[in-house]
Structure 1
């Protein structure tokens, strides 16, 4: 059905189309790499999409660093990124996007951007590593060990950033301003902006970002109500800008388990378990007064990203 629909759109503007292997449901991972003229390479940041492959990375919730990759997967993709950059002879900054099979080590390179991109801006803000500044210096032939990090003022550009926090990027949509535009999100980007949050845990980072993207969002709560089970499952199966709130509704109302949500959305179990932890904490807190909340319970609530 999707193939016919997309082929119809493509053939309306072009006499031929290219049909490739479908990788829907695979993980989408990005690496930012810098290289100097002396063949020194540094992987500045890696990011993982909350949503599986099939949704444009500009319309996906993205987290840095990656959360569900094993050590083997992380280093396999890192080494591949460095080999690609060296093979292409790129001097400066490069963004590489992968599709990774969720149950094996099979992967494909989706895209190689030998330039600063939207993801590069996110990586710079997430790590404090000034990619644009460093790329400009490298293009002038200056080696990595002689370029000072303009943000830290203490380290050189050859130091790989190490994060002890989690950054979450959530797109901002404004579908109401565009008449006749489908609210479905897919391979064509529809977001008009994005927000970035920083937290010590995935739960904290996600809830902060949800509140920032729209002041009316209370966090990981069912802000938009889907009246019937059919509407809820349709929203989960065919994502729109409201899918994260559909997941919240399914978890708060206990209508679908984590395993069922994974089967429908193909979102990784780990992400869904973390969302479930937010809901479990809410279930404990919702019937309490402030006087009843203990120190440990308050600490747990803050770790789960609940606001003051």
Structure 2
């Protein structure tokens, strides 16, 4: 679709402060929108109240308003800037709710007012209003659970009488599942419905028959005006008009072919709130997430788990498993019936004890395919426990690493220092290779240096032409370490690139601008552990013949804790000794 020349100025509504259910992924999408719209020649006006974001930097929009995101403030901005269109789809629930409020007030989406682009008021209402969404699904022939809409407790009781318990309650126009819940008893029903009606700005809840235990498939579909479909996004160009930024050769309509597995794991922070039950339900409670890439699911899963920085080294071979030693098999099976942040590790403990996979499935309802994959890790652990690190052959080392075992896990299993495990592995000639992320299983060469580690024969890292600087990112968001550290890392990358260095980012947070494929000259999507960081450093030395400098001072506590484990002469900026002096309370 040709560029719309009738639009000159576009107002983007940001997402405001970081909250559970609405994190830094909207800074990522908003930054991309500002960049693309300005490249197309539009004047971009941004409204956002979060100064710790990349998108609020002066370089990303022509005019930026760091103001409260309220209807009154946005009205004033619209009156002053006179935008031709308002883009509300990049600011999460906050922006969508504001767009609907502005539309209801007659400020946008009406003749003579700025147009709502990306999604108009009708589309937003259909997606956010539970009743309208249900009717839209029925109209296209999809089956939906038995359900009813309620605007009061009396109406809710009427719906319950028709459906019966258990039920799922979902309010309309809410953020991160706020006010949602599953009710198994009448008392729970009254409590969840009351909370849901209060949470919904239009006092509406959808009450559905519970489908807990069903298998869920989340399909993100991108569809254009010519009915080409690949993945989700609201777009106006046909897919054959958009180039793939990764390969630079294929259009977006080229069917993706993937030879790697991506695993994302939420990061919860219940440890910050002692006494909270820590039970997971329909309401979002995670504060961040980690992501890992591997050739197999087992490799990807173990990398993602050790990326969480919550004390776990992987799925097993982990000091945290000691807490289960005093538990009986029946107690363990009872524990995995309740969804908690620790359930995956509890399931691993059940499998390690030899409890039948079918019995574990009956208790936790996790799909047997995943349980089978976890069993492969457990079986390898039992095999490795009967060996010594000095006796392992190269093929045995390689098999363990392909299943995702970290050196730290093997050190725990063998009661051997991690440095010794690392030395023996390297002596056996087992080193990671780095593959490039593409969308075509290497049918076309990837032009974007976006890498992940695995244990194969050939690396795809190209030699650097300039002196390299590695920036260690901040890992998954959590309380005390948020988007402001990503902001620092991104600006360091921009500044170093301008100064003539080859910038290399190492991070495992998929929500951030730092892990955008074009923020740095090279991106390693890897856990921020001693082993993984040293592997990256050694890979850069092997391909480029020179040692890179490493910046550890911009990503918060995550890279600071690694400073003393990296060769001191490589650390740029504050020395490891000075960092230790500042961090050690006694010193």
The match for 2:229 is: 41
Instruction: Pick closer, same or farther for the CA change 1:37–1:16 going to 2, 3 Å.
Output: closer
Which of 339, 346, 351 is residue 251 of structure 1 equivalent to?
Answer: 351
Higher relative contact order at CA 8 Å, sep ≥6: structure 1 or structure 2? Answer: 1
For 2:339 and 2:226, locate their aligned partners in 1 and report how far apart those are by CA, in whole Å.
Answer: 45
What is the Cα deviation at residue 149 of structure 1? 1.6
What is the Cα deviation at residue 288 of structure 1? 1.8
Which of 270, 273, 276 is residue 178 of structure 1 equivalent to?
Answer: 273
Q: Superposed, which structure 2 residues align to 1:231-270 within 5 Å? A: 231-254=331-354, 256-270=355-369
The match for 1:117 is: none
| 8 Å contact from structure 1 (residues 185, 241) kept in 2 | yes
For 1:293 and 1:239, locate their aligned partners in 2 and report how far apart those are by CA, in whole Å.
Answer: 38
Which of 384, 390, 404 is residue 305 of structure 1 equivalent to?
Answer: 404
Instruction: Pick closer, same or farther for the CA change 1:8–1:233 going to 2, 3 Å.
Output: farther
State the secondary structure of the residue aligned to 1:213: coil
For 2:205 and 2:221, locate their aligned partners in 1 and report how far apart those are by CA, in whole Å.
Answer: 32
TM-score using structure 1 length: 0.64
| 8 Å contact from structure 1 (residues 148, 154) kept in 2 | yes
State the secondary structure of the residue aligned to 2:221: strand
For 2:184 and 2:204, locate their aligned partners in 1 and report how far apart those are by CA, in whole Å.
Answer: 14
For 1:234 and 1:190, locate their aligned partners in 2 and report how far apart those are by CA, in whole Å.
Answer: 23
What is the Cα deviation at residue 282 of structure 1? 0.8
Which of 367, 384, 387 is residue 288 of structure 1 equivalent to?
Answer: 387
Q: Superposed, which structure 2 residues align to 1:97-246 within 5 Å? A: 135=234, 138-139=235-236, 142-178=237-273, 180-214=275-309, 216-221=311-316, 223-224=320-321, 225-226=323-324, 227-229=326-328, 230-246=330-346
Which of 188, 194, 199 is residue 12 of structure 1 equivalent to?
Answer: 194
| 8 Å contact from structure 1 (residues 10, 17) kept in 2 | no
What is the Cα deviation at residue 179 of structure 1? 5.1
For 1:245 and 1:20, locate their aligned partners in 2 and report how far apart those are by CA, in whole Å.
Answer: 31
TM-score using structure 2 length: 0.34
Query: How big is each residue's C-alpha offset from its partner over 1:245-275, in whole Å with a ceiling of 9 and x where there is no partner?
Result: 1012112233x21111000011111111111
For 2:193 and 2:253, locate their aligned partners in 1 and report how far apart those are by CA, in whole Å.
Answer: 47
State the secondary structure of the residue aligned to 2:216: strand
What is the Cα deviation at residue 17 of structure 1? 6.2
Runs of 4+ in 1 over 6 A off after TM superposition: none
Which of 179, 200, 213 is residue 25 of structure 1 equivalent to?
Answer: 213
For 2:257 and 2:345, locate their aligned partners in 1 and report how far apart those are by CA, in whole Å.
Answer: 32
For 2:406 and 2:310, locate their aligned partners in 1 and report how far apart those are by CA, in whole Å.
Answer: 12
| 8 Å contact from structure 1 (residues 7, 17) kept in 2 | no
What is the Cα deviation at residue 286 of structure 1? 1.6
Q: Superposed, which structure 2 residues align to 1:66-85 within 5 Å? A: none
| 8 Å contact from structure 1 (residues 235, 243) kept in 2 | yes
| 8 Å contact from structure 1 (residues 145, 158) kept in 2 | yes
Point out where structure 2 has 5 or more consecutive residues left out of the alignment.
Answer: 1-165, 167-182, 198-202, 408-587
| 8 Å contact from structure 2 (residues 299, 405) kept in 1 | yes
| Aligned residue-pair number | 214
Deviates most, 205-214 or 289-298? 289-298
The match for 1:80 is: none
